[in-house]
A = this chain, B = another copy of it.
Amino acid sequence: MSTPTRTAVLLARGPDRKGLVARIAGFLYSHGANILHADQHIDMLAGMFFQRIEFTLDDMDLPPGQLQEQLVPLMRDLGMTFQLYGTDDVPRVAVLVSKLEHCLIDLLLRSRAGEIRGQIAVVVSNHETLRPWAELFQVPFVYLPVTPETRAEQERKLLDVLADHEIDLVVLARYMQILTPRVVQAYPLRIINIHHGLLPAFRGARPYHQAMERGVKLIGATSHFVTEELDEGPIIEQEVARVSHRDTLSDLQRKGRDLERLVLARAVRLYLERRILCYGNKTVVFD
């Protein structure tokens, strides 16, 4: 047995109505696809239907280009929007960092180990600190320093770098700058941040200090899409660790680093496997 080599993922959504599953599955079957995974969700309150289908391309009677084309009228007819991703297309990822190394190294290692589909195409930073790590993994490193005065200019350059590298996904791996709407709007629901607090608690700066101050018994980390409102975007994944009165701030940071790594890596993996759909301010995660 071996996994089929060429597959595609269809993400689709629209108002719920009868026959969506039958019509979509019927279409794929009629063209020779074999459905490997199919997940669906109906939000009863919103009356919305969401679907992820992963299927083989090998025996289809349509080349991927025509598949896309023929899905358009079907989906229009069903009142749905969709994206189609061939798993041959390797998504390109930019990782933005400042000085903290743990999330970047973790992503580089997981990428090399094949845990994360997609290619880390560039590392961008407002500091030179982590250049050696990018170079060790033979990933281009772009240094874009920033001051309050140069922010607009720096973000213009950042957008150029992202465009040059044909980036699909931007990952903020403890990047200590707040992106302006200009960048956020250029990559809508395509920027993932790791926040080192259990959102919506401890928004903003220094969440471990806030957690210490409040005396919580669990700390957490949250990966979410970046929107124009700080720390308010759709949540993808969260995890916690137990703390006690014995834990100092540095213990919280140590435990937190482990959470951040895990929670960010899970979000990136889920995104690149096309398992996330957003609606309203929430995510549907087909894991």
Q: In the complex, which of the residues B25, B200, B285 contacts A21, with contact meaning CB atoms closer than 8 Å?
A: B25
Minimum CB distance partner of A136 in chain B: B136
Is the Cβ of B115 less than 8 Å from the Cβ of A281? no
Give the residue among A23, A43, A44, A215 with the most B Cβ atoms within 10 A. A215
Query: Which one of A27-35, A62-70, A159-167, A176-184 contacts B?
Result: A27-35
Chain A residues 238 to 282 lying within 8 A of chain B, measured CB to CB, are: 238-240, 244-246, 248, 254, 257-258, 262, 280-282
Residues of A contacting B: mostly = mixed
Q: In the complex, which of the residues B19, B35, B41, B217 contacts A237, with contact meaning CB atoms closer than 8 Å?
A: B217
Is the Cβ of B244 less than 8 Å from the Cβ of A285? yes
Is the Cβ of A254 less than 8 Å from the Cβ of B21? no
Count A-side interface residues using an 8 Å CB cutoff: 70
Q: In the complex, which of the residues B17, B41, B257, B281 contacts A215, with contact meaning CB atoms closer than 8 Å?
A: B281
13 pairs, A vs B, C-beta closer than 8 Å:
A18-B33, A21-B29, A21-B38, A23-B29, A26-B26, A38-B40, A198-B198, A200-B202, A200-B214, A215-B234, A215-B282, A218-B238, A218-B239
